[in-house]
Amino acid sequence: MTSTKSIIPESPAISVNRIHLPFLDGMRALAALWVMLGHSHLFAYGWLNHTNSLMKPLNVLLYLHLAVVVFLVLSGFCLALPVVQNGISLRVSSREFLQSRALRILPPYLATLILILIVNYFFPIATWARNASGLTPTISWQVLAVNFSLMQDFFPQLNTINGPFWSIATEWHLYMLFPVLILILRRFGASTFLILATIVAWGLTWFAEHPPVFFHENQISILHPPYFIFLFAMGIFAAWVVYGQQSQYKVQKRGLIFSVVGGLFFVYFLYLLQKFSIFDAKSAGAFFDRTKVIDTSFAVVVAVCLAGLARTSTRNWLRRFLEQKLLTGMGKFSYSLYLVHIPIFATVHHYIEEMHLPTNLQHLHFILLSVAGTILSLGFAWGFARIFETRLWLRPMVWSSALRGKSLTQG
């Protein structure tokens, strides 16, 4: 969920001019909507698969987990763009990089966490959730400690305050690995980088499935889910494919190879979706048991799409669609939208349930929840982002301080 506002990559293989890729914000907006409406579907229908031809398109919402894959690949891609454009080197020190990431991700996250806890103290959000594993009226110190320290990927069983927080913790720790990943990419090349990232991701995944006694007894995980390292690395690799080459010929050649590989993975991904389709709660469990294979296959497809869109003309129909102002504008506050939408949808769901609609009006429940929840979430997230993401209220003070400093220097 990295912002693309300041990303201006350039490549000697493409152009000496700076390049802006607004379609990245459009993709981020669609991923956020996928997650948000997917949760609306779960509130209204649970894991019900629709067989009616008019309702079948809604079944894509059952796979909202895949939107997180999009976010992770996008993060790797966005962070790597200025790096590969700079000769595969960070423009700042690792410490400054992590400080910038902390300023980007932590204020909105902590603000959301505190806001949810305050609201829950006065109004029992816990009773409005779609399952019993959500926010509870009495919160243990362990849950608070894990959530405030962003350690849900080490203790996933304690991620009970807001479901989407689990991926924020994973992404936060992947940021810490980013300077190391770039060092490997620069020292050993892209092929070795991808091989090592794959080995580490699957090695940690095996470790998570066969934990030592100490880890098992204390329910400790490692970067849950550990294969997300591969997703992040695929985003970095995609940026290198497009902007890390020394000649136009290499860009085209390796782009073609990447596209062929992506096509094969796309076929495999469709096969996995067909084999492990979600029809009900039981089949959903089977799907999530195979997410490490499904997610990694989909990550390759997303990475290839990113590389392809970055290389295609701005007049391409898909790029034009993704670069609509409505989508790119939403993409700029999609992180806040991802953070705050669950409590809002839970609240709207609660009041719809109090209307006691007949059980045969589930569709009306879904429509009311989707429309009201989406409008409220978008409006709240937009204002929330201006305070905690872009922090516009700080800019007058920053400019005032800068002008005072300038006048003192001139004086």
Tens-place pLDDT, residues 119-166 = 888 877 766 665 555 566 678 899 999 999 999 999 998 888 888 899
State the pTM of this model: 0.88
Selected residue with higher pLDDT from 238 and 5: 238
- For the chain, what percent of residues have pLDDT higher than 70? 86
Structure tokens belonging to residue 68: 């997180």
Number of helical H runs and strand E runs in the chain = 16, 0
- Of 144-158, 195-209, 246-260, 369-383, minimum mean pLDDT range: 246-260
Task: Give domain limits for the chain.
Answer: 23-410
- Of 40-54, 142-156, 248-262, 344-358, minimum mean pLDDT range: 248-262
Instruction: State the Cα–Cα distance between residues 121 and 115, nearest whole angstrom.
Output: 10
pLDDT at 128: 62
pLDDT at 129: 60
- How many CB atoms are located within 10 Å of the residue 99 CB? 12
Structure tokens belonging to residue 209: 């499935």
pLDDT at 392: 55
pLDDT at 399: 42
Cis peptide before 82 (omega within 30 of 0): no
Give the model's confidence band at 217: pLDDT under 50 very low, under 70 low, under 90 confident, else very high.
Answer: confident
pLDDT at 15: 38
Per residue in 52-97, pLDDT (tens digit) is: 888 999 999 999 999 999 999 999 999 999 999 888 998 889 999 9
Instruction: State the Cα–Cα distance between residues 317 and 243, nearest whole angstrom.
Output: 22
- Of 13-22, 149-158, 286-295, minimum mean pLDDT range: 13-22
- How many CB atoms are located within 10 Å of the residue 30 CB? 18
pLDDT at 246: 61
- Of 82-91, 199-208, 313-322, 355-364, minimum mean pLDDT range: 355-364
pLDDT at 91: 87
pLDDT at 132: 54
